[in-house]
Amino acid sequence: MIGSNFCKLRAQVVVFLMFMAAAGSGHAALQQATASATPAAPSRADILRGAYGPYRVNNDLLSYHLDVRVDPEKQSISGKNSVRFKMLADGTRIQLDLHPALAVDKILLGATPLTYVRDSGAVFVDFPETLHAGQEYTIDFYYSGHPLQTARFGGFTFAKDPAGHPWIYTACEDIGASVWWPNKDQWRDEVENMQISVAIPNGLVDVSNGKFVGKTDLGDGYTRWDWLVQYPINNYDVSLNIGNYVHFSDQLGDLPLDFYVLPEDLDKAKKQFAQAKGMIEAYQHYFGEYPFQKDGYKLIEVPYSGMEHQSAVTYGNHFTNGYLGRDWTGVGVSPKFDFIIIHESGHEWFGNSVSAADRSDMWIHEGWTTYLEVLYVEYTFGHEDAIKYVNGYKPKVQNREPIIAERGIAATPPQDMYFKGALFLNTLRSVINDDPRWFALIHDFYQHFKYQNIMTEDVVAYFNQQTGMNLTPLFDQYLRHTAIPTLELKFNEAEGTVDYRWQADEPDFAMPIRAGKKTDWQIIQPTTYWQTMKTPLKKNEFDVATDLYFVNVSKQ
């Protein structure tokens, strides 16, 4: 996803500015103000949604079959989700979730109606007899109502296309998938596979995730569209896209490529969507096979910018390069490609295949995918453009709060997870200082964790183990603190020396960096303690490779 948390971010900025006013001004005050700014206490609803509580931890999802009917006239949805799960401990209760705007019609275990308790967005389902550890169960959760549209395009939206046909779509990463269908609405546990059946008025098309299985005329003016997801999937990736779509297809090796657009955009789409092949080739080059080979790759036109719905990426970038007509990083590289195709599809590798287990660690989705943009640029246009492109992200970095948010409360991390995340990974490449080794490392990292839900600790442990380095203070400095490290340099031109050290929050922060003469970098090994070295360079001649490392430099 891109940019959906801007509104929330603005609210945080206001709080921050109030702190600044109270704390005075200057850099020290800035660090102190951000460090001591504590967010409002999470609500009960945040905790119920965000925590991996006792009635979630006692079971493991196996599959969903979401079977719904969407009525564009009444702007309503009804149907059921059949939830198959394995108990991990004996118990009589599990937690599912459904937004309070929607009604629970009934919940059945076989033919037996189950009782339930609703609390905010949670639905605690109770069983008359103990469910046993190791056993598998299926319940049918029936629901109906008018799902919420939560923002310009968030939640579940009933809209019309320019020709007046219904155009109905979902995008729910922020509010959670339970805004429109009942599920275990958290990130840690994913189903192994899923069926999606969507009944809609004849003449419309539904595009959901996975492989198209077929459509069935229900004889009552509705047609059911059946889709099969053959891989683990995040709840928020599950999507409906209902419209007057036309379809065209292509192939990349054995991988089916399917495209769905409004009829009036067909010619433009055929030209613009040709970029999908080069994108997939680039990411396959770095990370290996497209993760959802059996399900295929799809691009689906929508009226919002785009979203990484698994194997069914939605696209609303106006069939032009850049991002919504802009040069996204402002350095002349972004207009060479379609930002939404490249970014949202990058999530197939990071976000959809490798997923975070808690929303707090969403940089695993967004920081990595923003770095994938950089790799796409490097593969397609060369290293020089890639360095220009990633450095073009620097003005967007705010350094106001850590990239990793509080766990267990469904908190949205700050926008820095995108840009600072990518700049950090570019920095890490320079620290490794061996490109073949770096590319092998990130390839193997992806392969090791594909189809899994992980936390930052897993990333750090993997990189430490594979490199034999202690990279923990680097990860922590960039992800768990607000400030980036500052390289302090004190020149003594009379003696021909320079003192150097890192100013960082992590006491053990030690990062090699290229410094000295631009045409002949020397790698120095600063720590948080002062060291001295000889240099023939004067203060104004002494450079630091700040395009390869995301750091501040202070010269005295």
How far apart are CB 390 and Zn ion at their closest, in Å? 16
Q: How far is the CB of 292 from Zn ion (least distance, A)?
A: 17
CA dihedral 312, 313, 318, 324 (to 10 degrees): 160
Shortest Å, Cβ 446 to Zn ion:
16
Instruction: Give the position of tokens 């030209």.
Output: 271
Of 218-226, 355-363, 364-372, 460-468, the segment contacting Zn ion by CB under 5 A is 364-372
In sequence order, what are the residues at sequence separation of 6 or more whose Cβ sits closer than 8 angstroms to the Cβ of residue 288?
443, 446, 447
Q: Is 295 or 373 the residue whose CB approaches Zn ion more closely?
A: 373
Rule CB under 5 A: is residue 1 a binding residue for Zn ion? yes
Name the CA dihedral angle for 350, 151, 171, 45, rounded to a multiple of 10 degrees.
Answer: 80
Q: Which is nearer to Zn ion, 367 or 516 (CB)?
A: 367
Q: Does 341 bind Zn ion (CB under 5 A)?
A: no
The least distance separating Zn ion from the CB of residue 344, rounded to whole angstroms, comes to: 7
**How far, in Å, CA of 491 to CA of 555, rounded?**
8
* Smaller CB separation from Zn ion, 6 or 556: 6
Asked whether position 228 contacts Zn ion by CB under 5 A, the answer is no
Provide the CB-side half-sphere exposure for 490 (13 A, CA): 9
If 0-12 CB within 10 Å is exposed, 13-18 middle and 19+ buried, where does residue 530 land?
exposed
Query: Residue 512's Cα: distance from chain center in Å?
Result: 30
CB of 404 to Zn ion, least distance (A): 17
Span 2-41, contacts to Zn ion by CB under 5 A: 2
366-385: contacts with Zn ion (CB under 5 A): 366
| Comparison of 166 and 306: residue with beta carbon closer to Zn ion | 306
226 versus 358: smaller Cβ distance to Zn ion: 358
Which residue number, 171 or 504, has a Cβ lying nearer to Zn ion?
171
**Least separation in angstroms between CB 313 and Zn ion:** 11
Q: Rounded to the nearest whole angstrom, what is the least distance from the CB of residue 308 to Zn ion in the complex?
A: 6
Size of the site for Zn ion (CB under 5 A): 3
Which helix H or strand E contains 485, and what residues bound it? none
For the CB of residue 346, give the shortest distance to Zn ion in the complex, in Å: 8
Stretch of 21-29, 87-95, 362-370, 548-556 contacting Zn ion, by CB under 5 A: 362-370
Strand partners, 502: 487
Based on CB atoms, which residue is closest to Zn ion, 1 or 61? 1
Segment interacting with Zn ion, rule: CB under 5 A, options 161-169, 358-366, 488-496, 535-543: 358-366
Task: Give me the torsion for CA of 74, 302, 419, 327, rounded to 10°.
Answer: -140
316 vs 516, beta carbon nearer Zn ion: 316
DSSP letters for 46-78: HHHHHS--HHHHTEEEEEEEEEEEEETTTTEEE
* Binding flags for Zn ion, 110-139, as an x/- string (CB under 5 A): ------------------------------
CA-CA distance, 459 to 204, in Å (whole number)? 44
Nearer to Zn ion, 337 or 549 (CB): 337
Nearer to Zn ion, 6 or 40 (CB): 6
Phi, psi of 426 (to 5 degrees): -65, -35
Half-sphere exposure of 124 (CA within 13 A, CB side): 13
Query: Of 4 and 95, which has the nearer Cβ to Zn ion?
Result: 4
In whole angstroms, how close is the CB of 366 to Zn ion at the nearest point? 5
3-state secondary structure 371-425: HHHHHHHHHHHCHHHHHHHHHCCHHHCCCCCCCCCCCCCCCCCCCHHHHHHHHHH
- Contact window for Zn ion (CB under 5 A) among 39-47, 86-94, 240-248, 361-369: 361-369
- Both structure tokens of 129: 């007899």
Q: Spell out where 274-364 has E strands.
A: 297-301, 306-307, 313-315, 355-356
Binding segment for Zn ion (CB under 5 A), chosen from 90-98, 195-203, 359-367, 433-441, is: 359-367
What residue has token string 């104004």?
540
| Tokens (6 digits) for 10 | 């603005």
Residue 92 beta carbon to Zn ion: minimum distance, rounded to whole angstroms: 40
Contact segment (CB under 5 A) with Zn ion among 238-246, 363-371, 484-492, 528-536 equals 363-371
In angstroms, what is the minimal distance from the CB of 170 to Zn ion?
17
The residues binding Zn ion (CB under 5 A) are 1-2, 366
